[in-house]
Structure 1
Amino acid sequence: MRADAKKNYSHILAVAREVVSQHGADASMRDIARRADVGLATLLRHFPTREALFEALLCTNLDALTQKADELKTSDSPDEALISWFQEWLAFAQSYRGVVAMMAAAHTNPDSALYASCAAVHSASARLLLRAQAEGAARPDMNGDDLFALMTALGWAVDQPSFAPRADHLFHIITGAILTNRRAKM
């Protein structure tokens, strides 16, 4: 990539991050281009779809989540590792309003620019769940798809202004349903 194109790319991402943090996943591509002081064609050359833009915006966060899962897999007790990772994921989901719906849609669509990142998050959560199940700390009747569905459901719920204040409470309810020994601790 040429130096000026790389500079435009970085500048567009910085502006997009700002606009998305203000307006969520429904932020206008035209607004992003206008605020970045580039033409819409330039924006679309770098990011041909909204999903491609979000993949670029989120890949650092999603890579960090996947790395965190790998660290937790060996460092904590299986139930605490799953809880810690779930908390990290929820914090990420709350930082980008509307992104959870995009991830849920991309989860089963290999043509989506977000598919690979969603698959990595799904796989990371499934590995942590399997470890907790092997230790008897998580329900045996769940699989990675179930966990991903619960994560996205919670992410969607706390994305709604009426449920956002109850995020911690809803988190504890869901983790209490996943972990076999969590009910006794609550």
Structure 2
Amino acid sequence: MTRSEERQFHFDLLRAKLKATEVGAGELSLSPSIPAQALRSLVEFEYLEGPNKLPSTRASRDILNRPHCTCATVCVASSCECLRFGARLGLTAPAYDAEERLRTPEVDTEYILECGPQCACSASAICGNRRSQDGLDYDLELYWHSTFGYGVRALEAIPAGEFLATYTGSTLSERQAAKLEA
């Protein structure tokens, strides 16, 4: 296989992986300028839509005991347990506006508690308190920079406050985290 054929093979393989991943209305594409050697290093690439939970970790009690709402359709602050819990964390209004953009600078807290899969509104496609779970709505491109390595750039203008994507990282146990810190 020539270098050009190998590059095209890896490029097609990665493009197929990305297309097979449902990431919302947007698309994560590959820049055609990624060199063959950089493409080879991406063979094991996997787009994760949720946290990479290692087998030796378990959910925190705080997460397991978080509120779940019983809203039938649209969640509103006066009746949604998730939004009321967010208010106790310091949110003075729902985190998202009517266009599902983050209210800034009104949201100046470290936490945004969205409705989750255990909530009754999860069957409703119109809950406005789960924006980060909707996936990617904008076209992004994975590219290669000769000095900095891989990067992601937007292929269209993204309005301020708009959700882009989630960086979930890996969930570690306290022992694993301590080992990394040492």
Whether these two folds match at TM > 0.5 is no
Name the structure with the higher strand share.
2
Kindly name which structure, 1 or 2, has the bigger radius of gyration based on alpha carbons.
2
Please, what TM-score do these two structures have when normalized by structure 1? 0.22
Name the structure with the higher helix share.
1
Q: Which has the higher contact order (CA 8 A, sep 6+)?
A: 2
Please, what TM-score do these two structures have when normalized by structure 2? 0.23
